[in-house]
Amino acid sequence: MRQVPTRSYAASRFLLVGTGKLSRHLEFYLKHLQIPVSVQSSRMGLTPENHAFQPDYVYLLVKDDAIEAVHERLMSDIPDGATVLHASGARTIPGVLGLHPLCTFGQTLYAADYYPTIPWIVASDEWEDARQELSALPNQIHLIHSRDRALYHALCSIAGNFPALLWREVFARFEGEVGLAREVLRPLVEQSMRNAFESDAHLTGPIARGDRGTIEKHLDVLGQSRLKHIYESFLGNFSGESKT
C-alpha cells in the first residue's frame, strides 16, 4: 500500500488540473479556507508557473476515462514529494489516490458554509492515513474498500441523478399542462426527501393504498410518455413495498 507523507493541509498547496465545474467549486472552497491553490488546463503538461508553485497535491479533476492519460502527461513534471489525487468515485488508478467529494456540483457556486458539509470518500486499503492527512479540513472523511468503488458510485449516481431526471419531466408537465409553477411541488418533494431519510416506510398515495382505479387513471392521462413507462416500471418493481 502506498504511504502518504503526513503534512498539514493548512501549509499545503493544491494544484487543480481541469477547469470544469468541480474545479471551480473546489478552487472557491480552498480559497475560502485560505489554502494556496492554482488551476490549470488538463490539456497540457505542467505550466512553468505551476511548477514554480510547487504544489503538495496535484488533484486531477477530469472525466474518469481521461485520468490515466492526464496523469501520464503530467508525470514527469510533477514535483518530487507531491501527492497525485483523482476525484473519481468509481475508478482505482495506479499511482493516483482517490478522493471523491460526495456531492453534485452545478454551474453556480454554493454558499461557503455549505462546502464543509460535503462528505469525502476514500478507499481505506489505498490511503490508510487519509483521515490524518485530511484532518485540517472540516469535512467528514468516510472510508470504503476499493473493491466496493463501482457499486458505491453506481448508487451515488442513481441517488444524485435519477430523481433529478424524474423531477425534470414532472416539472415540465406540471407547468406546461397543469399550469402550476414547480414551486408548488416544493413542500411535497422536500418532505418526501426528509421522510426517506427518517423512515423506510414512506410510501403514500394510491400505490401504497393499492387503489387500482386511481392508478389506471394516472396511466391513462400520462399517455405514451416516458413518465408512463417510469410509472409502470415502478409498479412492476415496487408495488409490494408498502406491504413489507
Residue 162 has pLDDT above 60, yes or no: yes
Look at residue 85 and tell me whether its pLDDT is greater than 50: yes
Grid cell 501549509 in the structure block, residue: 11
For residue 144, pLDDT beyond 90: yes
User: Mind listing the pLDDT tens digit for each residue in 166-197?
Assistant: 999 999 999 999 999 999 999 999 998 998 88
Share of the chain above pLDDT 70, in %: 92
Count Cα neighbours of 30 within 13 Å in the Cβ-side half-sphere.
22
Name every residue whose Cβ is closer than 8 Å to that of residue 25 and which is 6 or more positions away in sequence. Answer: 105, 109, 110, 115
d(CA 211, CA 215): 6
**Three cell numbers at 58?**
496535484
Using an 8 Å Cβ cutoff, are 40 and 67 in contact?
A: no
Hey, what CATH class is 9-144 in?
alpha beta
pTM for the whole structure: 0.84
Q: What's the whole-number average pLDDT of the chain?
A: 89
DSSP per residue over 46-100, as a string?
--HHHHHH--SEEEE-S-GGGHHHHHHHHGGGSPTTPEEEE--SS--BTTBEE-E
Question: For residue range 24-33, what is the model confidence (pLDDT) as tens digits?
Answer: 999 999 999 9
Q: For 184-241, write each residue's pLDDT tens digit.
A: 999 999 998 998 888 776 677 887 787 889 999 999 999 999 999 999 998 888 766 5
Alpha-helix residue ranges (DSSP H) falling in the chain: 21-32, 48-53, 67-74, 130-133, 149-173, 186-198, 205-209, 212-222, 226-238
Domain definitions of the chain by residue range: 9-144, 153-243
Q: 62 vs 10, which has greater pLDDT?
A: 62
Q: What is the pLDDT of residue 202?
A: 67
Q: What is the mean pLDDT of residues 102-113?
A: 96
Distance CA 148, CA 143 (A): 11
pLDDT at residue 157 is higher than 90: yes
Length of the chain: 244
Above 60 in pLDDT, residue 2? no
